[in-house]
Amino acid sequence: GAGVSQSPSNKVTEKGKDVELRCDPISGHTALYWYRQSLGQGLEFLIYFQGNSAPDKSGLPSDRFSAERTGGSVSTLTIQRTQQEDSAVYLCASKIPGLLYDTQYFGPGTRLTVL
Amino acid sequence: LAKTTQPISMDSYEGQEVNITCSHNNIATNDYITWYQQFPSQGPRFIIQGYKTKVTNEVASLFIPADRKSSTLSLPRVSLSDTAVYYCLVGGPRGNQFYFGTGTSLTVIP
């Protein structure tokens, strides 16, 4: 596909379990972002990857959250020991940085529900 | 990291022009201003981007005053399908545009 894809689209888990969310960016996009959006709220930045540089993790809310990006492409966001407040839509976006119109292209998101 | 301030919500009737203003007092010299639109259950999508003065595309216009501390998104003749949340971002070409804030929820009324 030509767009950003995310999986799963929905995830229901029990409190205390670990979850992994996947993002496949647009081919050739070296920048990748993860955001969290709680119900009725704006987007909260989590982490930013750019090429081989060290990721910007300044938005991660706690050490239960981590993310990896393998081979400069696919990214996985992991939440350990999930809590009910982690329930939200997790959005991934990618882009080519440095262009004049540096648009972020968003995936459809993963809706996480922690029971 | 430049933060932005927008009205939380706005209402408009169909066919009217809508102007949404965003404040970004701490905008840096290299920062661009970008607006996104988000429909329910979807990720945001790019609308328009500019650096100064005025930019127009097939969807909207963006007005930026000389001091660049604010910007105004103008949507001409809105329709019901323009009901969405609109976000203003500032950031540079290095990719550090990631403060979306709470956005402005626009409701278009028949």
Q: Which residues in chain B are contacts of A98 at CB distance < 8 A? A: 93-95
Nearest to B42 by CA among A89, A108, A7: A108
| Mean pLDDT for back-to-back runs of 10 residues, chain B (110 residues) | 86 97 90 91 91 93 96 96 94 68 92
Q: Are strands B84-91 and B104-109 parallel, antiparallel or unpaired?
A: antiparallel
Nearest to B35 by CA among B107, B106, B105, B103: B103
Contact (CB<8Å) B93/A102: yes
Check: CB of residue A31 under 8 Å from CB of residue B95. yes
Phi and psi at residue A55, in whole multiples of 5°? -65, 150
- The first and second tokens of residue B106, run together, are 């626009």
Nearest to A52 by CA among A36, A19, A30: A30
- The first and second tokens of residue A115, run together, are 């029971």
pLDDT single digits (tens) A67-109: 999 887 999 999 999 999 999 999 999 987 666 556 889 999 9
Q: How far is B37 from chain A (nearest CA, A)?
A: 11
B102 at the A interface (CB within 8 A)? yes
Buried b / exposed e over B43-57, threshold 16 CB at 10 Å, is bbebbbbbeeeebee
B98 at the A interface (CB within 8 A)? yes
Nearest to A32 by CA among A84, A75, A82: A75
A57 has pLDDT over 60:
yes
Alpha-helix runs per DSSP H in chain B: none
Q: Can you give the pLDDT at residue B95?
A: 57
Q: Are strands B70-75 and B61-64 parallel, antiparallel or unpaired?
A: antiparallel
Average pLDDT, stretch A12-19? 98
- Using CA coordinates, name the residue in chain B closest to A32: B95
Helix (H), strand (E) at residue A20? strand A19-24
Partner-chain residue, chosen from A41, A101, A108, that has the shortest CB–CB distance to B43 = A108
Q: Can you give the pLDDT at residue B97?
A: 63
Contact (CB<8Å) B98/A103: no
Helix (H), strand (E) at residue B107? strand B104-109
Partner-chain residue, chosen from B32, B44, B102, that has the shortest CB–CB distance to A41 = B102
N-to-C CA span, chain A: 33
- Using CA coordinates, name the residue in chain A closest to B33: A101
Q: Is the dihedral of CA A55, B40, B63, B70 positive or negative?
A: negative
